[in-house]
Chain A
């Protein structure tokens, strides 16, 4: 076949944001008609940006786009839609109070009498597409009442009804249950048979191997290769994605666990949709050790951390710090017990974005005597403290007076970590401490965690980054479905074995799991 087998051809796409960050550099990306094409890369590798450019949400700084060999500029999603490109966003773009049919025809509603919505026609249209493409939805149901899997189908139908030939799916399986994922794959294969072209963004290797025909791997804003999915192994994909063959081993001194600091006993938590999120979790963390919690996101880690830091109330069970229960205590009290907390969502819970670095760094300690002089702050000691922390944690900034929101992600996290790690904590709860930040900041944070634990702090590390927990942890807990599926204290673990526990294929005996609670 000649050149026109490509429905989409993006050449030398470069995208540099006004703040100087280059999200894409000279990326070539082509999609063949009728294939399922995987776009894979770590967080921040530039795959979302590339797809936003293709969908008209972002304008490339440089480069050209061809659709069916015709050069185009896509200045808005509307234009992309009219040229046959549809996108299913990770966060659904649906209006909850409207029905499925209303969402599908929004902006192009069929009319009757020239004035009114022909709702019957909208329902008919929904049914027609739903049946033709085997995407079962309930046209009359309100979107607020339907399950996530169906919402996704509504999104796909929205694109199809608007004449999409190329469908971009941004991490579609992230929100789905296993069963829903199986269904989705069936539907996507079905769409492919009917001649549609699909771009599948993901970082789940297994799914990519199962579903896709070709694969483009991105790393650090560049494309590092295009392969036929069959011709490349998962190991190779992962090597290209991460850019290193093996997980870099951290040189960390032997851990010498001391007294129990945190003790969690039989925690149960049922969420507001009556789903059992924690189902009898018990473990302890001792001085001088890092206990990692691995698991696929959504298996109760979020709820566990929230309970430990007083953001949620468990339905039953207890958690104690040095023997004192922290259930029901306000955060300020929990902090005075010596608990530090690096939250997953740093922009909401970690920093006040419009406050400056200095203010953020002392926000947990400004009431201490040494920072006050009568009714006023002792500015000098506040400044000294923050300057010291900026130095210690190598925060890249113009000055301590710079607004935190203006910093890069890595430096914002350094501000959070500098504050949390410098309050002499006896327990550090670090929730995804290095997610989405640069390598330098990641290294620094990991080293500090090890350093603090060796100095006697107890560290509870929750991370979806398997490499991270495997590297850093002295002991490792795997959570699955609100329970502990396995406890490992021998340092002998690898990702294959972790995977089996994380996905619920394996579970230790109750006896073995009970070891997570040290006497």
Chain B
């Protein structure tokens, strides 16, 4: 069995799958990074992805254009972000609560909306056509390189975009005035407002951008990854993304590596469950990504603690002995 396992793992095909699976997590993780930088905990990512996945698909179906679908998903994501912001910054609800509300809207509301708009129940399988799926592209030259070509070429446009966004976001945060203001607001709102930076405005901007990125993740799910919208499609990716943000120390590049780790776990799950004789362990295998998430977070917490200890208080007990 292990021989069979390693055979599947050590293939270009496996690395290709990791990249593919990582992309939506990465979008959501970047969404978490940008809002967290402004001091806004966007716990509603899961719901945002559900809703934007649905609307992305519907817009694409109505116009028969995947581009409109992707843009529509981003727009809906922005609107959801602004809505969360309105509830929290204007009406002063706890941001966690508005995040939970969006998540619940994502699970319950989408089924209702789907039925309302299309009469379909649970999934959009019947509406799928090639026009509305995000196309894949072969990268010239690279696709000629053996192995590497197989891994890197032939992904969906949005997959590349996810990885490009890592660097765009990094540059945005660290090299632009707006990014500087967002970071300042997240770290010390008083300092920011004392020089005339509007804290609320920066938070709105950050959560709207977060929504747009979540929208890209949602569109990727329904318009490429699962080829149609269905109810259980996002499957916790919004929460895994929050873990990736934390593990990546809130930095875009860090979040990318954590996302890749979670992508690897997901890919492993897929591969292992495909092996002969594994059918009876199905539920066990299903756990892999989540177990990896928990282990990842434990390591993260440990490293933070170690770091804190180096800088901070000598804990009481240690000093006593």
A contact set with B: CB distance below 8 Å: 76-78, 81, 87, 89, 92-98, 102-103, 106-109, 111, 115-117, 119, 158, 162, 272, 312-313, 315, 328
Contacts and interface: CB of A to CB of B under 8 A. Distances in A.
B175 A116 contact: yes
Contact of A313 (B183, B188, B319): B319
Interface in B307-321: 311-314, 316, 319-320
A102 to B, nearest CB: 6
Given A81-B196, A95-B192, A328-B316, A106 B176 contact: no
Contacts of B176: 115-117
B194 interface: yes
A106 B184 contact: yes
Interface of A is mostly: loop
Contact of A106 (B175, B180, B312, B314): B180
A94 B196 CA distance: 13
Given A77-B194, A78-B196, A102-B180, A117 B175 contact: yes
A117 B177 contact: yes
Interface residues of B, number: 25
A108 B195 contact: yes
A113 to B, nearest CB: 10
A325 to B, nearest CB: 12
Interface centre among A92, A107, A109 (most CB of B within 10 A): A107
Given A93-B188, A97-B183, A109-B177, 10 more contacts: A77-B194, A81-B195, A89-B194, A94-B191, A96-B188, A107-B195, A108-B195, A117-B175, A162-B195, A312-B316
Given A115-B176, A117-B175, A328-B320, A106 B187 contact: no
Interface string B239-254: 0000000000000000
The 7 A-B residue pairs with the shortest CB-CB distance in the complex, in nearest-first order: A78-B196, A109-B177, A93-B191, A93-B194, A107-B195, A107-B197, A313-B319
A116 B176 CA distance: 4
B190 interface: yes
A97 B251 CA distance: 13
Interface centre among A77, A92, A116, A119 (most CB of B within 10 A): A116
Contacts of A315: 319
Given A107-B181, A116-B175, A96 B187 contact: yes
Interface string B297-312: 0000000000000011
B175 A107 contact: no
Contact of B180 (A77, A92, A96, A98): A98
11 contacts: A76-B196, A93-B190, A93-B195, A94-B191, A95-B192, A96-B188, A98-B180, A98-B183, A98-B184, A106-B192, A272-B313
A175 to B, nearest CB: 16
A95 B188 contact: yes
A403 B314 CA distance: 36
Contacts of A107: 181, 192, 195-197
A328 B315 CA distance: 12
B196 A95 contact: no
Contacts of B194: 77, 87, 89, 93
